[in-house]
C-alpha cells in the first residue's frame, strides 16, 4: 500500500525545520512562523526567533502577525457567500449598490462590476492618494468617497490586470451595504466565528499581548528597529487583517473542495479558477495563482509595515503552506517556495532507506571554509543540501548507505563528488564528516 501524502511529507519536515531555522539565523529575521497541513491534519508547525526583539518573546504557531493582503481573500469569500445567498451578483455594477460610486470626471466607474473589483481588473488606482504607506495614516470613508468623485480610474475596466487595494476597499463597502452591518461585524459573524478563527481579526485586536511587532529592513551598519502598529481603518478589507499560522491553516482547510465549509464546491471552484492574467500575475476571485514546479497553488501574499507573509493551498494534494515574518524584508515568498520544493522531493521519493537510529547522532549542520551543509534524515535515507542557498534543493542529494556510518554520493551533481564515499567519525566526542578531500566540523547557532 502506498504511503499517504501526510506520511510522505512527514519524512522531510525535519529537513524543512532545520533549513528554515538556519535561514532565519543567517538573514537575521526577528521572527518567523511556519505551518504545513494535508487535508485537515497539521503535519508541521513551528515558530522561530522572536515576536519582538526588545522583549524576546518567542514566536509560536499562535502568534499573530499582520497578514495584510491576505485580507482580500476573506473579503472575496464574504462576497461569494452573499452571492450564494442571492443578495449580490458578481456581475452587478458597483454603482447599483453604492450610489456615491460615480464621478463626472470618470465614466469608467459606471461600468465597473463587483467581479472586476475582486479580480483586479477594474482599472482603478492602486492605493489612492492619502500617502498611508509612508505617513501611516490610512483613510476613512469620506476620504474614499472624495477620491471616487475625483475619478480614480487609470485604465478602463478589463483593459489591464491592475492590482488595487482601493478596489478591495470599495468591495468592503458593498459588504456593509448588502449585509446591513459593519464590515468587521459581518466578517466575524459569517467567517471567523463559524470556523473558530479566534486569533484572526479584520483589524488590530484589542489584546495585543500575543501579536508580533513589525521591524524595519536590515542594513549592514544598523540594527533593525520596531515599527508602530498602524490601523488600516476603512482599508481593512484590502489589508487590515491579523492572524496566526494555526488559524490560516484552518482557513485553507475550509477552502478545500469537499470540506463543506464556507461555500459550496461550485462557488469555491469559481473563486479559485483563473479569472484574469497578464505576463507576470494570474488571479482568481481573491486568490492569486502560483506554481512551484508542477504544483499549482492558490493563496495570497501580504506586505504591511514590518511584516511580509505568504500562504497558499494546493487542491490536488490538499497541501497548505503558511509562512509569516515580522520584518519588512522578510523572505516569506522565498521560504514558501523552498518548503514546497522540499515537499515535492518527499512526494516524488519514498526515502525508504535502512538508516537506523544511531546515525541521528551525526545529523545536523557541518561547516568548512567553503559552505555550511545540512545533513539530515529524510525517512530512512540520509540526505544533504547546501544550507546557505535560498533554494534548499540546490545540491540536494540522497545518499546510499554502504557501511556503518559510511555513505556514497549519488551520480547527480558532476561538480560535487558523484560516486565517492564519505563517512562520519567522532573526535573528542564531537561528530565529524570526512570525505577524501577533507573534513567538516559541526556548526552550531
Domain ranges of the chain: 1-27+349-445, 28-330
pLDDT for position 415: 60
pLDDT for position 3: 65
At the second CATH level, the architecture of 28-330 is 3-Layer(aba) Sandwich (3.40)
**H or E element in which residue 431 lies:** strand 430-435
3-state secondary structure of 265: helix
**pLDDT, tens only, 84-118:** 999 999 999 999 999 999 999 999 999 999 999 99
pLDDT for position 1: 30
| pLDDT over 90 (residue 411) | no
DSSP states along 278-321? -SS-EE-SSPEEEEETTEEEEEEEEEETTEEEEEEEETTTTEEE
Mean pLDDT of 379-397: 95
| pLDDT over 50 (residue 257) | yes
Query: Which residues 6+ apart lie within 8 Å of 197 measured at CB?
Result: 191, 243, 247, 250, 251
**pLDDT, tens only, 314-341:** 999 999 999 999 999 999 999 999 999 9
Residue 289 pLDDT grade (very low, low, confident, very high; cuts 50, 70, 90) = very high
The whole-chain average pLDDT of the chain stands at 96
pLDDT for position 350: 86
Note the pTM of the prediction, 2 decimals.
Answer: 0.96
Amino acid at each position: 500500500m502506498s504511503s499517504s501524502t501526510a506520511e510522505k511529507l512527514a519524512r522531510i519536515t525535519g529537513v524543512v525545520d532545520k533549513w528554515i531555522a538556519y535561514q532565519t539565523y543567517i538573514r537575521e529575521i526577528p521572527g518567523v512562523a511556519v505551518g504545513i497541513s494535508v487535508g485537515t491534519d497539521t503535519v508541521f508547525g513551528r515558530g522561530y526567533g522572536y515576536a519582538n526583539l526588545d522583549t524576546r518573546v518567542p514566536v509560536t504557531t499562535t502568534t499573530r502577525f499582520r497578514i495584510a493582503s491576505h485580507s482580500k481573500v476573506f473579503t472575496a469569500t464574504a462576497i461569494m457567500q452573499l452571492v450564494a445567498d442571492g443578495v449580490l451578483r458578481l456581475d452587478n455594477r458597483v454603482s447599483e449598490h453604492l450610489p456615491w460610486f460615480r464621478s463626472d470626471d470618470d465614466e469608467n466607474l459606471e461600468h465597473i462590476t463587483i467581479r472586476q473589483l475582486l479580480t483586479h481588473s477594474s482599472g482603478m488606482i492602486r492605493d489612492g492618494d492619502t500617502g498611508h504607506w509612508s505617513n501611516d495614516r490610512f483613510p476613512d470613508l469620506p476620504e474614499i468617497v472624495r477620491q471616487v468623485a475625483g475619478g480614480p480610474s487609470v485604465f478602463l475596466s478589463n483593459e489591464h490586470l491592475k492590482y488595487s487595494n482601493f478596489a478591495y476597499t470599495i468591495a468592503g463597502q458593498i459588504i456593509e451595504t448588502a449585509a446591513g452591518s459593519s464590515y468587521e461585524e459581518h466578517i466575524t459573524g459569517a467567517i471567523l466565528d463559524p470556523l473558530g478563527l479566534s486569533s484572526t481579526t479584520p483589524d488590530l485586536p484589542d489584546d495585543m499581548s500575543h501579536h508580533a511587532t513589525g521591524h524595519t529592513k536590515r542594513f549592514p551598519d544598523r540594527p533593525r528597529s520596531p515599527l508602530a502598529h498602524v490601523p488600516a481603518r476603512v482599508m481593512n478589507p484590502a489589508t487590515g487583517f491579523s492572524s496566526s499560522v494555526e488559524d490560516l491553516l484552518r482557513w485553507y482547510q475550509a477552502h478545500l473542495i469537499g470540506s463543506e465549509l464556507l461555500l459550496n464546491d461550485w462557488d469555491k471552484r469559481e473563486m479559485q479558477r483563473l479569472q484574469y492574467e497578464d505576463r507576470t500575475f494570474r488571479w482568481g476571485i481573491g486568490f492569486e495563482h502560483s506554481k512551484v514546479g508542477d504544483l499549482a497553488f492558490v493563496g495570497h501574499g501580504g506586505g504591511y509595515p514590518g511584516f511580509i507573509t505568504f500562504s497558499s493551498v494546493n487542491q490536488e494534494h490538499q497541501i497548505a503552506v503558511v509562512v509569516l515574518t515580522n520584518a519588512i524584508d522578510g523572505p516569506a515568498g522565498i521560504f514558501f517556495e523552498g518548503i514546497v520544493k522540499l515537499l515535492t522531493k518527499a512526494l516524488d521519493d519514498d526515502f525508504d532507506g535502512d538508516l537506523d537510529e544511531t546515525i541521528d547522532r551525526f545529523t545536523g549542520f557541518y561547516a568548512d571554509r567553503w559552505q555550511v551543509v545540512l545533513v539530515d534524515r529524510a525517512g530512512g535515507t540520509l540526505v544533504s543540501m547546501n544550507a546557505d542557498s535560498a533554494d534548499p534543493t540546490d545540491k540536494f542529494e540522497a545518499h546510499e548507505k554502504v557501511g556503518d556510518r559510511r555513505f556514497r554520493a549519488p551520480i547527480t551533481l558532476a561538480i560535487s563528488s558523484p560516486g565517492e564515499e564519505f563517512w562520519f567519525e567522532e573526535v573528542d566526542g564531537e561528530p565529524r564528516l570526512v570525505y577524501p578531500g577533507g573534513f567538516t566540523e559541526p556548526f552550531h547557532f
